[in-house]
Structure 1
Amino acid sequence: MTIDDVSPLERWVDALNRKVELGEGLEFSAVQLARQLNEPDIASLTAFLAKLVALGSATEFTAYTCPMSSCRKTLPSGVDPVACPFCRVTFIEEGVTPTSEQFFRLTGEISRDIRWMVVIHGMNSRAPWQEAFSWEIANLLKYSAPVLIYKYGWATYEVLFPGIHRRMAKSLGRRIRIAIGRARAANLPDRPDVIAHSFGTRLFSLVLQDPEFADLRFGRVITAGSIIRPDFDWKRHFRDGRVEAVLNHVAAKDGAVPFAVWAIPGTGPGGKVGYMAQQVLNVRNLQYGHSSFFEDQHLPALIGENGLWRSFFTRPLKPLRDDGVFVQKDAWQPPARWRIITARAGGCIAIAAVVLASLWLLKLSLCW
């Protein structure tokens, strides 16, 4: 089908659906839309928009346009039109009057900006992607978005002990609280967006559960390679206003997540089977492994124009769709306790063996 085979009505519907999907350009006059669509039949287009108003898919209101030929911009609605905020002209001083025009507003959410972000990396990540991520954010987005990349050090045997998890999570929560205070001072929103990967997802989940940080609120959250339990109570955190939205990006070829439940207390294969909470958007990529999200060949696509992560952070959520979206309906049960204890005991023995072997090799090298 060529463009000539598409009826004007189909072109109009497609264009308006795209506006709603992106959350951009929701307000316009019939003349502006006709100019955008290269549509000569303004009368028919106006009649179509009037039908949308009758159906409740749009609203109609009177807007004013700056009369200055060098500007001609639409003035903000709800403001007495005495001056133009764009060209700074005071109308009475220039002896001109703003022109009124009927505008339409589509029913839908407007797009949002990424104002600032917290990134929590995975275990033992020297993370060259961290610099690449900040660079991509700065260059691909149309606004400056400060990025706090939280570094909790080099974790080894610590992951075996829940008490150490909680201590590390408290350090993370306190660091985020400091960052929120600085954001307020810089007139940025209180709620940062969040990207958490691997063991970073475990720490973020503990921050959400810790009463000390009940005051912290977050915007949209992406978990990648998550080791959070599939039955984590996201519903409660949505209800309490702790998070605005959650995207769980699942890697089908992730070989690390399934073993987390055996080695790391309190964890689960959320990054493999998805979260059970209906409020969460689970998306599976069939080609990704545990850290593919941050590799050079994938990261620019994820946060570039129309990329999944960028769309999740900036666009209305309802129209957001991806081929990998799935719903986790199966009940999840952790392995039997005795199996977990046996596996973790084996892990401790393995770590001790590695440490002893390293010490022995060090001693041997010193003897030589």
Structure 2
Amino acid sequence: MKTPEERYSAEISRRLETGDDLEFSLAQLAKAVDASPDDEALAVFLDQLVKTGTATRLTAQRCPVGGCGRVLGSDDTPFSVCPYCHTDYQQEGLEVLIEDFYRLKGETSRDIRWMIVVHGMNSRAAWQEEFSWQIANRLRYSAPVLIYKYGWATIDVLVRPVHRHLAKQMGARIRIAIKHATTSRRPSRPDIIAHSFGTLLLSLILEDPDFDDLRFGRIITAGSIIRPNFDWNRHIARNRIEAVLNHVGAKDSAVPLAQYAIPGAGPGGKVGYAATGVFNVCNDSFGHSDFFEPENLRLLIAEGGLWHSFLTHPLARFLPAGSFVLERSWKPGPLMIRGVSRVVGYMLFVLIAPVSWARRCLDP
């Protein structure tokens, strides 16, 4: 059983981790930790927070009317009339209450204002609609979701020029979406969720000088085929992106093969990213696409879920279960094997590309 001090500390840690309720009165904290507002130990605990610099003490005025009780502001400006219930204190013979408040020194939580989702290969509309539905219904915010559809990708992934073409199209579409968002008075930085081949296209956009004007919020990559040595830190330092969560599936059998079949790809979604500014998190039971199974997605984006926490919480204290660091430098697979697989890939592309093109037209 926890001691009172352990309960107080746990509540303060929770608030700092989530970025919520950073400002409070003694009575409000007492209620949260199931203590009495007259608890001397709680008052001593708060004094210690102030002494260590974890919190600052503020003095504020509160309306004395029972049905109101609103905080009026700091004690620097005297209030003779309540701006909320409009009580004239002098006329009613009342005095404004003076109360101490405490402000924790930490980052506040952030809202998910809107996001862009980039799917993997061969993703049909039913999956995309389910994903959009889950996001819209599980998030507590009014967050529009743009599902970017680059079509039915099959043999196309074997050829690097096709990647660049698709990335150009995607970058142009994102630029239009950002323009619409700013017109609607939403932030210009969307959060991004990308899966599989969609992660590779996202990395090409970040590396393309034509899209240097694009800025993103927080990015989640799942089943990523981006190379582990991709320079995320450079893009974070240039303020292109805010932060990256790389969600890894321990049972992902597709990602390790990507570098042999897809030019420019790598096993980032299996071994992690080397960049120090990235959060690598592994789920021991997930395969390549298990992130988007309805029951898993519900948990990931629900309050307290991994994706929801990453997108909303301050990151200074963000350390989810399954976090890991890429300890050794990553090296691509044997050049000869990659070379042979690429030659075979280009031959297949030449043979099957017309069929793929026809299928793309019939089943976009």
TM-score, with length taken from structure 1: 0.88
1:213 aligns with: 211
1:28 aligns with: 24
Alignment partner of 1:340: what SS? helix
2:245 aligns with: 247
Q: Percent identity?
A: 52
Contact in 1 for aligned 2:158/2:349 (Cα 8 Å): no
Matches within 5 A, 1:240-279: 240-279=238-277
C-alpha distance in 2, partners of 1:293/1:164?
27
Contact in 2 for aligned 1:82/1:92 (Cα 8 Å): no
Question: For residue 273 of structure 1, what is the amino acid of its counterpart?
Answer: V
1:42 aligns with: 39
1:65 aligns with: 62
Matches within 5 A, 1:312-327: 312-327=310-325
2:6 aligns with: 10
Contact in 1 for aligned 2:111/2:312 (Cα 8 Å): yes
Contact in 2 for aligned 1:302/1:310 (Cα 8 Å): yes
1:311 aligns with: 309
Alignment partner of 1:128: what SS? helix
1:344 aligns with: 342
Deviation string, structure 1 residues 25-56 (Cα, Å, up to 9, x no partner): 11101122112323123333122101111011
C-alpha distance in 1, partners of 2:168/2:27?
56
Contact in 2 for aligned 1:157/1:351 (Cα 8 Å): yes
C-alpha distance in 1, partners of 2:266/2:281?
17
Question: For residue 129 of structure 2, what is the amino acid of its counterpart?
Answer: E
**Following TM superposition, by how much is the alpha carbon of 1:75 offset from its aligned partner in structure 2, in angstroms?**
4.7
Deviation string, structure 1 residues 315-358 (Cα, Å, up to 9, x no partner): 11122222211000211111343322211222344556667999
Question: For residue 72 of structure 1, what is the amino acid of its counterpart?
Answer: G
Question: For residue 8 of structure 1, what is the amino acid of its counterpart?
Answer: P
C-alpha distance in 1, partners of 2:150/2:332?
27
Alignment partner of 2:282: what SS? strand
1:120 aligns with: 118
C-alpha distance in 2, partners of 1:191/1:80?
38
Higher relative contact order (CA 8 A, sep 6+): 2
C-alpha distance in 2, partners of 1:222/1:207?
15
Contact in 2 for aligned 1:75/1:81 (Cα 8 Å): no
C-alpha distance in 1, partners of 2:23/2:207?
41
**Following TM superposition, by how much is the alpha carbon of 1:73 offset from its aligned partner in structure 2, in angstroms?**
3.3
**Following TM superposition, by how much is the alpha carbon of 1:79 offset from its aligned partner in structure 2, in angstroms?**
10
Deviation string, structure 1 residues 135-158 (Cα, Å, up to 9, x no partner): 222222222110011000111222
Alignment partner of 2:203: what SS? helix
> Residues 251 and 351 of structure 1: is their aligned pair in 2 closer, same or farther, counting only changes over 3 Å?
same
C-alpha distance in 2, partners of 1:185/1:89?
37
2:360 aligns with: none
C-alpha distance in 1, partners of 2:3/2:124?
55
C-alpha distance in 1, partners of 2:75/2:278?
36
Alignment partner of 2:295: what SS? coil
Alignment partner of 1:236: what SS? helix
The count of aligned residue pairs is 353
C-alpha RMSD over aligned residues = 2.6
Contact in 2 for aligned 1:66/1:84 (Cα 8 Å): no
**Following TM superposition, by how much is the alpha carbon of 1:174 offset from its aligned partner in structure 2, in angstroms?**
1.2
Contact in 2 for aligned 1:116/1:147 (Cα 8 Å): yes
Contact in 2 for aligned 1:82/1:91 (Cα 8 Å): no
Matches within 5 A, 1:1-368: 5-40=1-36, 41-75=38-72, 88-89=84-85, 99-350=97-348
C-alpha distance in 2, partners of 1:72/1:177?
48
Where structure 2 has 5 or more consecutive residues not aligned to the other structure, the ranges are: 357-364
Question: For residue 64 of structure 1, what is the amino acid of its counterpart?
Answer: Q
C-alpha distance in 1, partners of 2:7/2:338?
58
Where structure 1 has 5 or more consecutive residues not aligned to the other structure, the ranges are: 359-368
2:361 aligns with: none
